[in-house]
A = this chain, B = another copy of it.
Amino acid sequence: MLYFIGLGLGDAKDITVKGLEVIKGCSRVYLEAYTSILTVGKEALEEYYGRELLLADRDMVEQEADEILKGADVSDVAFLVVGDPFGATTHSDLVLRAVNAGIQYRVIHNASILNAVGCCGLQLYSFGETVSIVFWTDNWKPESFYDKIKGNRDMGMHTLCLLDIKVKEQSMENLMRGRKIYEPPRFMTVAQAAEQLLEIVQNRREQGEELAITEETVCVGLARVGADDQAIQAGSLREMASCDLGGPLHSMIITGHLHPLEVDMLRLFSGPESLKGLKMTGSSTYIS
Contact = CB atoms under 8 A, between A and B. Distances in A.
Contact of A124 (B86, B118, B123, B261): B86
A109 B155 contact: no
A87 B16 contact: no
A90 B121 contact: yes
A107 interface: yes
A244 interface: no
Interface in A69-117: 84-88, 90, 92-93, 95-96, 99, 107-112, 114-116
Given A92-B121, A111-B109, A13 B16 contact: yes
Contacts of A110: 8, 16, 110-111
Nearest to A230: B107
Chain A interface size band reads 35 or more
Interface in A240-259: none
A125 B118 contact: no
Copies of chain A in the complex: 2
Contact of A109 (B9, B88, B132, B268): B9
A128 B116 CA distance: 17
A89 to B, nearest CB: 9
B115 A115 contact: yes
A263 B127 CA distance: 24
Contacts of A108: 14
A14 B18 CA distance: 6
B18 A17 contact: no
Contacts of A132: 125
Contacts of A109: 8-9, 14, 111, 115-116, 119, 225-226
Interface string A14-43: 111110110000000000000000000000
B118 A115 contact: no
Given A84-B111, A84-B118, A96-B264, 20 more contacts: A8-B16, A8-B109, A12-B17, A14-B16, A15-B16, A17-B17, A86-B124, A88-B124, A90-B118, A90-B123, A92-B262, A96-B265, A109-B116, A110-B111, A111-B112, A114-B124, A125-B132, A127-B129, A129-B157, A151-B155
